[in-house]
């Protein structure tokens, strides 16, 4: 198949935009106030786990970022559990047992979340297909269907 | 069919509108509780009016009871309080209070001022039991059956509508059985 140059002209900026978005996302890891603690390694783990958990009082924040009282309590709970030698898996289970999958910023893959996980990719493919289809159709139109160039 | 093709974008647009409109009607605060159908988490808590006495979850096995989580610093609790008083007055169910992250004096004054509908109020000063019950916004209300299972949870202030359409039918069902 001959590579359509105009298709490339459309797809190139799209690809670059996607790449930039990915780069930006990896750099903008939330900066959160770290409480002073005697054990920096433990504190780093607490921060990592807490930044995966949604604060239920202020729903668009993690419990690492939020200063709501419940978030402070839950951070302390995470710290205590990790200090007692429990795994991060156990902490997440503890939270979902009480508050449901809703508290996880990375929802588990199950039947209810299939559309959530794969919907965007389906939409992307559909969009690319329709773009390709439209450009191909336009390519086949006779030249008199287009406006003449101003400076031939 | 071909002549109607110009309507496609409109149809697509209307589809999106319906979807988004339905989304607007959902309440993001209403987090489905994973605790429904599970045994109520255990506790052993002091009574607000008699701190030397404790009540444990297992003391309440064998009867249907309601747990109403409240605090004196919580304005919506005050708003729902007449309904809780009404539930107690009509003897619909035994209502236990869970005084969440509050000060004893303030809590006792609050009850003295607004009326005390509770068989007993349990004191959860550090909010630990609140976490076990998945409490994230006081007031919250739970209904626990004879086997000690949580059957219902409501987050936020009770409303006459919730009481009539959800709580009363459930209590009838639970209290009728056995």
Establish if A78 touches chain B: CB-CB under 8 angstroms.
Answer: no
**Number of domains chain A is built from:** 2
| ipTM given for this complex | 0.76
Token reading at A1: 């198949």
Query: Looking at residue A64, which CATH number applies to its domain?
Result: 1.10.8.640
Band of pLDDT at residue B168, cut at 50, 70 and 90: very high
Average pLDDT over residues A130-142: 92
pLDDT tens string B4-41: 888 888 999 999 999 998 888 777 667 778 889 999 99
Which residue ranges form the domains of chain B, and what is each CATH number?
A: 37-176 (3.40.30.10)
Q: What pLDDT score was predicted for residue B111?
A: 95
Establish if A93 touches chain B: CB-CB under 8 angstroms.
Answer: no
pTM of the predicted protein model: 0.72
Establish if A116 touches chain B: CB-CB under 8 angstroms.
Answer: no
- Contact (CB, 8 A) for A71 and A63: yes
A135 located within any domain: yes
Which residue in A54, A55, A56 has the most chain B C-beta atoms within 10 A of its own C-beta, making it the best mutation to test that interface? A56
> Which DSSP category does B163 fall into?
I
Least CA distance to A71: which residue of chain B? Answer: B136
pLDDT tens string A52-103: 998 888 778 898 888 888 899 999 999 999 999 999 999 999 999 998 888 8
A67 located within any domain: yes
Residues B132, A98: C-beta atoms closer than 8 Å: yes
A120 located within any domain: yes
A100 located within any domain: yes
Residues B136, A56: C-beta atoms closer than 8 Å: yes
What is the C-alpha to C-alpha distance for residues A67 and A69, in angstroms, rounded to an integer?
A: 6
Residues B101, A69: C-beta atoms closer than 8 Å: yes
What is the C-alpha to C-alpha distance for residues B167 and A62, in angstroms, rounded to an integer?
A: 33
């Amino acid at each position: 198949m001959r590579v359509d140059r105009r298709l490339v002209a459309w797809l190139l900026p799209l690809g670059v935009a996607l790449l930039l978005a990915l780069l930006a996302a990896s750099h903008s890891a939330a900066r959160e106030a770290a409480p002073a603690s005697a054990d920096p390694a433990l504190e780093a783990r607490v921060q990592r786990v807490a930044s995966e958990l949604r604060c239920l009082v202020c729903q668009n924040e993690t419990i690492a970022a939020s200063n709501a009282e419940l978030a402070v309590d839950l951070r302390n709970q995470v710290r205590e559990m990790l200090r007692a030698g429990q795994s991060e898996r156990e902490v997440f289970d503890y939270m979902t047992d009480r508050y449901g999958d809703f508290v996880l910023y990375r929802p588990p893959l199950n039947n209810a979340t299939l559309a959530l996980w794969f919907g965007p990719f389906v939409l992307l493919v559909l969009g690319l297909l329709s773009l390709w289809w439209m450009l191909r159709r336009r390519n086949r139109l006779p030249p008199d269907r287009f406006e003449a160039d101003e400076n031939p | 069919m071909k002549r109607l093709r110009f309507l496609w974008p409109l149809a697509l647009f209307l589809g999106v509108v319906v979807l988004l409109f339905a989304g607007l009607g959902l309440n993001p605060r209403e987090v489905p509780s994973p605790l429904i159908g599970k045994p109520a988490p255990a506790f052993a808590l002091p009574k607000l009016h008699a701190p030397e006495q404790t009540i444990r979850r297992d003391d309440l096995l064998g009867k249907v009871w309601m747990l109403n989580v409240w605090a004196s610093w919580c304005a919506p609790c005050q708003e729902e309080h007449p309904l809780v008083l009404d539930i107690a007055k009509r003897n619909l169910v035994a209502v236990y209070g869970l005084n969440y992250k509050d000060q004893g004096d303030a809590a006792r004054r609050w009850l003295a001022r607004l009326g005390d509908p509770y068989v007993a109020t349990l004191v959860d000063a550090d909010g630990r039991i609140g976490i076990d019950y998945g409490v994230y916004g006081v007031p919250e209300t739970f209904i626990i059956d004879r086997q000690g299972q949580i059957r219902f949870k409501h987050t936020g202030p009770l409303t006459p509508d919730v009481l009539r359409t959800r709580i009363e039918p459930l209590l009838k069902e639970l209290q009728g059985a056995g």
